[in-house]
Structure 1
Amino acid sequence: MDDWSKEFWQAIDDAILAVDRVFTGVATTLETAVDDLLMEVATNVESTVADVQKIIVSELDENVPEWREWLDGDDDLFPDMEEFNHHTEFYDVYPVFPSAENNPACIGCRNYHGQVYNGNILVCGMHPSGWEDEKCPDWESN
């Protein structure tokens, strides 16, 4: 009886090894197939993109001959953009800290924002221009 149980468990071990070999073979085959498919897709995408680029350039050359000059900067497509890009008020943002002279009611307040935007200070959300007296009713400690 002892030999029968050893043979049974040996048969189970052999079956497990056979199934493992099958799954390993299938996994290897699938991995190779997926890699090949991805390589082909990548090659086709590169080829398609190159074809589309050629078509676009051809169409632009035919229908908008000055497009290359525009890219070179010889022609100003957006003349107002130069003024917009050099407008300092869009970049004029800086902090201002409360002091005895400027917004004394805001010293140590957690609501204080203190940023200057285009020359206008935003003191806080409750009092955008600041508080006149020395005691602000919305003052909260940091």
Structure 2
Amino acid sequence: MNVQVMDRADLAGAAAATAVYTFAVSHSFQAVGVVRRRARDVLTEWGLPEATAEEVVLVISELVTNAVLHALPPAELRLFLHGGVVRVEVCDSGAAPVWPGSVPASDERGRGRDVVEALALRHGADVRSDSTTYWAELPAC
């Protein structure tokens, strides 16, 4: 596992220590299950309660699934634990082209955002010309 403790100043300018985990995401549907299992292990190692870890894993699952379905590889999962908050980030290489007939009807998709909104304290996206990072912050307790 790629778990390390870094100074938060290295991440976003704050001074407190933070636990960090990063994991490269394979561009396949099987990757979602692998990422969920690894993330659950990390969250357990960080001491999160089981119910809290399950909510974080659900958000991870939604964000990773979206990266696999709708974005160009490579993708990466990043987890940060700081204070009472877990920050989940999934960074990808931007939106993949959409082929006619390749996307299910709108009533069969789009519920992942509702899940993220229901569980996260805050969430959003940082869109750049060569990448997109979707993120969500959840309570760690």
TM-score of the two chains, using structure 2 as the length reference? 0.19
Structure with the largest fraction of strand: 2
Structure with the largest fraction of helix: 1
The structure with more radius of gyration: 1
Q: Which has the higher contact order (CA 8 A, sep 6+)?
A: 2
TM-score of the two chains, using structure 1 as the length reference? 0.19
